[in-house]
Chain A
């Protein structure tokens, strides 16, 4: 090759390399931006899905609360007020001593109805779960279950309780509520126990019962629709708030659900 050819070859080769490098960098920037736009859209969708799931959880908590209230009004306060009405109907003011006794009984019954109404009014506020400490909300739920099914209920809190972020609290409460309802409905336990543990960098919620238990592996294998869907829902919600969900169950020995953050 003569010198002129060599110079031309060099210039062409350098230009081609430079162009390729420029194309590479521009293509990289373009691809990165496209990927970033996609990532932002995915993130936004996930946030929307999170908000929707959270809303659904809150609505479920509210529905459950209304169900409690309706049952409480019917089974407890309604009964007391019926007794009050019967007492007042049978009241004969001409017979002084029995009338005073009946009025005293009626007063006691009205006081009981008032006290029950006051505690019920707390739950009428749909956001009570968000405002109270998790242990308080769970204590209230356990008391209700105790009254409804008669089983023994225990709540243990380890460490210094701190307020959890509202989203976490409502989801944790709803999962606990669902686990307890399932236990009462299907396992018929003698004891229902909730353990809460607050550490500096960790949190644990365990709901355990000594009821009938079930074959968890079998349910997973068979994909039993109702139970499977409920469990999957709980697992998804746990994941949504960054909690690790663990379920242990043995036939005849009970079930334990643990959530760790």
Chain B
């Protein structure tokens, strides 16, 4: 069987989801939403992979996933922090992504993706800010959203920079495309690998720390 970058990706996701399902009764409400997001991510990737193999265009599923991802992430971070600004930011991002999608409905919504990535970076940084403001004796590792935020921050920043460079350098080269693709793939691995400790460790939130 020929190696495909999706196999480790699927393996990490399946492992994370398995642990998440096993630990489901102990997970906080907000962590459960991230677990559901992982399930949706896996389904999206599997369907997109199958569509790719069957030579069916898979743009719709990726474009729809962006909206679902934004909504679920916004919901999870809102539950986690009880912060109104995150709710507003989520709605704003969903509107922007939808507008970009409808403007070029038959293409990959790359502008929308940049908006989603910016949103991801913003809420991760915001969570770090809330965390540093919290007076607590709970170890940092026992905040699942510390792991999620670290993963999303690194994933978001690397991909925003990657997209920025693609625009800046006006890339046509095969090598550069493969470098950017590697950044995307490895940051994905890293992001979903961090879900595993987040699901495994005790669940504390900035609300009740």
Determine how close the nearest CB of chain B comes to the CB of A3; give it in whole angstroms. 5
Question: Is B157 an interface residue, CB under 8 A from the partner?
Answer: yes
Residue B85 at the A interface, CB < 8 A? no
Closest chain B residue, CB of each to CB of A16: B161
Cross-chain contact B158 with A14 (CB below 8 angstroms):
yes
Q: List 21 A-B contacts (CB under 8 A).
A: A1-B169, A6-B169, A6-B171, A6-B173, A6-B176, A7-B176, A7-B179, A9-B165, A10-B179, A13-B161, A13-B165, A14-B158, A14-B162, A17-B158, A18-B158, A21-B157, A24-B153, A28-B128, A32-B140, A33-B140, A36-B136
Q: How far is the CA of A13 from the CA of B161 in the complex (A)?
A: 8
Contact residues of B: prevailing secondary structure: helix
Q: A residues within 8 A CB of B132?
A: 28, 31-32, 35
List residues of chain B with CB within 8 A of the CB of A13: 161, 165
A14→B161 contact, CB < 8 A: yes
Q: Is the CB of A7 within 8 A of B175?
A: yes
Beta-carbon contact of A10 and B157 below 8 Å: no
CA distance A247 to B182 in the complex (A): 70
Contact of A29 among B137, B140, B157, B161 (CB under 8 A): B140
CA distance A163 to B41 in the complex (A): 55
Q: Does A88 contact B (CB under 8 A)?
A: no
Residues of B within 8 A of A24 (CB): 153
**CA–CA, A25 and B158, complex, Å:** 14
A217 to chain B, nearest CB (A): 35
> CA A21 – CA B152 in complex, angstroms?
11
Q: Chain A residues near B162 (CB, 8 Å)?
A: 14
Q: Is B2 an interface residue (CB 8 A)?
A: no
Interface residue? A43 (CB, 8 A): yes
Interface assignment of A39: CB less than 8 Å from any CB of chain B: yes
How far apart sit A28 and B153, CA to CA, in the bound complex (Å)?
13
CA A13 to CA B168, docked complex, whole Å: 12
Tell me if A253 counts as interface (CB < 8 A to partner B): no
Complex Cα distance, B10 from A175, in Å, reads 66
User: Which residues from 137 to 191 on chain A have a C-beta closer than 8 Å to any C-beta of chain B?
Assistant: none
Q: Does A11 count as interface, using CB distance less than 8 angstroms?
A: yes
A113 to chain B, nearest CB (A): 57
State which size class the interface on A falls in: 20 to 34
Query: Using a CB–CB distance below 8 Å, which chain B residues touch chain A?
Result: 128, 131-132, 135-137, 140, 150, 153-154, 157-158, 161-162, 165, 169, 171, 173, 175-176, 179-180, 183
Specify the main secondary structure of chain A where it touches its partner.
helix
A1-60 contacts to B, CB under 8 A, are 1, 3, 6-7, 9-11, 13-14, 17-18, 21, 24-25, 28-29, 31-33, 35-36, 39-40, 43
Evaluate contact between B140 and A39: CB separation under 8 angstroms: no
Taking a contact as CB atoms closer than 8 A, the residue among B131, B136, B153, B169 that contacts A10 in the complex is B169
Nearest first, the 6 A-B pairs at minimum CB distance are A3-B173, A17-B161, A39-B135, A21-B154, A6-B169, A10-B179
Min CB distance B46 to A, Å, is 29
Say whether B137 contacts A36, CB under 8 Å: yes
Using A3-B176, A32-B132 as known contacts, say yes or no to A9 and B158 having CB atoms under 8 A apart.
no
Looking across the interface, which residue of chain B has its beta carbon closest to that of A2?
A: B173
Residues on A with C-beta less than 8 A from B158 are 14, 17-18, 21
In whole angstroms, what is the CA distance A24 to B158 when docked?
14
- Report chain A residues within 8 Å CB of B176: 3, 6-7, 10
B180 engages A10 (CB within 8 Å):
yes
Give CA–CA (A3, B165) in the complex, Å.
Answer: 13
Contact check, A40 vs B161: say whether CB atoms are below 8 A apart.
Answer: no
Which single residue of chain A is at the shortest CB-CB distance from B140?
A32
Q: Report the bound CA distance from A33 to B139 in whole Å.
A: 8
B143 to chain A minimum Cβ distance, whole angstroms, is: 10
The interface residues of chain B lying within 8 Å CB-to-CB of A28 are 128, 132
- Chain B residues whose CB sits within 8 angstroms of the CB of A1 once the complex forms: 169
A29 to B179, CA, bound (A): 30
Bound complex: CA of A144 vs CA of B179, how far in Å? 88
Instruction: Using CB atoms, name the residue of chain A closest to B137.
Output: A40
Given contacts A10-B179, A21-B157, A36-B137, 14 further A-B contacts (CB under 8 A): A6-B171, A6-B176, A10-B165, A11-B179, A13-B165, A14-B179, A14-B183, A17-B161, A18-B158, A25-B153, A29-B140, A33-B140, A35-B132, A35-B135
Q: Write out the residue numbers on chain A whose beta carbons fall within 8 Å of the beta carbon of B183.
A: 14
A18–B182 alpha-carbon span in the complex (Å): 14
